[in-house]
Amino acid sequence: MNWFTRVRNSVPFLPKRATTDNLWVKCPGCQQMVFAQEYEDNSHVCPRCDHHGRIGADARLSLILDEGYDTLPIPEVKEDPLKFRDSAKYIDRLKKARAKSPHRDAFLVGEGAIEGKPAVVGVQDFGFMGGSMGMAVGTAFCKGAERALTHRCPYIVVTAAGGARMQEGILSLMQMPKATVMTRRLKQAGLPYIVVLTDPTTGGVTASYAMLGDVHIAEPGALIGFAGQRVIQDTIREQLPDGFQRAEYLHQHGMVDMVVHRHDLRDMLATLIDYLAPAEAA
């Protein structure tokens, strides 16, 4: 036994010092340390560089909806129909994601009002398996749309996804036409369907309901695209321009209607609902 082990073992209970790890967060934008409470109070927007961080489904709903909103239960779907396994079993990945999340999948629907105007809001949570679109996400999206149709109110969807949930194979891709049909039904009913694109919105989600809104709002700096930059660059063998696939670039090129700061999002949605809401029956 060397002197260090001897000394260490002779100190039976070293008091554990309170960890300071969770008091600070490192901003992914400017790489500076920001006081965690300040970051949270500022809706996960960096007070120094205005970088919009990712937020969970519940935090997002409470940012948009008035107090006292309800959430719909996340629909139960057949789990792991393909008995899929890559480096880990899909069912184990699901269990792990559920242990970290208050919800059983990546799409949460809230029903309430925005500045007093009734609305249904669907939120995709990137924190749950990268917000990937599987059967539960597709079904929850449709349930939200049905709710909006029943109550004749606008449907607002906040997207954040790495794409389709590949562990569900073709069943995840089938969510694309399924969700698209619901956006058509909203249109036929004359109800506004507004999409808020947040960082990142990519893959099958971009290729379906994320790009079918009456109005597309994007958060500053959000990555929005279908295929990744490297794949595109390698395919066309050209250097991509600065800011490619970012919200501001898409706005300049007519893919999104506006880029709205998170602090102004709720007001903007209320204004849009005012503009787009169906006229009251005389």
Give the neighbor-by-neighbor strand order of the sheet with 70-71: 70-71, 107-114, 117-124, 155-161, 193-201, 215-218, 258-259
Q: What CA–CA distance (Å, rounded) separates 187 from 79?
A: 31
Pattern of binders to Zn ion over 45-84, x per CB under 5 A? -x-xx-x---------------------------------
Residue 65 near residue 114, CB atoms below 8 Å: yes
How many CA atoms are closer than 13 Å to the CA of 10, on its beta-carbon side? 7
- The number of residues that bind Zn ion (CB under 5 A) is 7
For the CB of residue 229, give the shortest distance to Zn ion in the complex, in Å.
22
Between 30 and 240, name the residue whose CB sits nearer to Zn ion.
Answer: 30
CA 140 to chain CA centroid, Å, is 14
Residue 243 near residue 218, CB atoms below 8 Å: no
By CB under 5 A, residue 261 contacts Zn ion: no
Between 46 and 123, name the residue whose CB sits nearer to Zn ion.
Answer: 46
Between 33 and 88, name the residue whose CB sits nearer to Zn ion.
Answer: 33
Between 23 and 82, name the residue whose CB sits nearer to Zn ion.
Answer: 23
Between 38 and 274, name the residue whose CB sits nearer to Zn ion.
Answer: 38
Please state the three-class secondary structure of 103-151 as a single string: CCCCEEEEEEEECCEEEEEEEECCCCHHHCECHHHHHHHHHHHHHHHHH
- Residues between 4 and 43 with contacts to Zn ion, criterion CB under 5 A: 27, 29-30
Q: What CA–CA distance (Å, rounded) separates 97 from 111?
A: 24
By CB under 5 A, residue 187 contacts Zn ion: no
For the CB of residue 51, give the shortest distance to Zn ion in the complex, in Å.
4
- Residues between 148 and 167 with contacts to Zn ion, criterion CB under 5 A: none
Between 27 and 142, name the residue whose CB sits nearer to Zn ion.
Answer: 27
Coil vs helix vs strand at 82: coil
By CB under 5 A, residue 220 contacts Zn ion: no
CA dihedral sign, ordered 73, 163, 245, 208: negative
Q: Write out the residues near Zn ion by the rule CB under 5 A.
A: 27, 29-30, 46, 48-49, 51
